[in-house]
Amino acid sequence: MDLSFEEKSAWGSLLGIGIASWLFFPTAIAHIEADGEPVDLIFRALFVVGVIIAIEIVYHIVTTVTSKDRETDERDAMISLKADRYAGYVLAFGVSWIIGLIILRSTVPYVPLEQPGILVAIYLLLAMTVSEAAKFIAQLWFYRVGI
């Protein structure tokens, strides 16, 4: 079974996002919840960005060299558009959830707002990351199902 260039690219990007998320989010959330300084996360974030860039560069070089057909067609464009739509739904849900939590914590007197702003920013970054992962998962699903 020979995968298309776009499908291989989606696998590599999903791998990069997965590794970067595993390296950053558990540590960042635990650090902020333990009253750590947000500035301490800058080097970790830069490291994670470097990891993503390295994974993407190496994977796409290997994919480009090993792929026979690198042309995109209408099917690839349609799959990309549909996957973007699903990613938008996931992002809208995540941002709405976070907004709902902020409203709940600021209006209900029994639920104190103990989260610093940086934690809310990390949750928003997590929502964007999950949205991007959902896009690649949807792309892979559409390539497998056949659209």
Q: Are 106 and 117 in contact (CB under 8 A)?
A: no
Q: How far is CA 106 from CA 15, 94, 98, 100, in A?
A: 37, 18, 12, 10
Instruction: Mark 11-38 as b/e (b = at least 16 C-beta within 10 Å).
Output: bbbbebbeebbebbbeebeebbeeeeee
Segments making up each domain of the chain, as ranges: 5-145
Pairwise CA distance, residues 61 & 75, whole Å: 23
Its pTM stands at 0.81
Question: 81-135 pLDDT, tens per residue?
Answer: 999 999 999 999 999 998 888 887 777 776 665 666 777 888 888 899 999 999 9
Question: 52-88 pLDDT, tens per residue?
Answer: 888 889 888 888 887 777 677 788 889 999 999 999 9
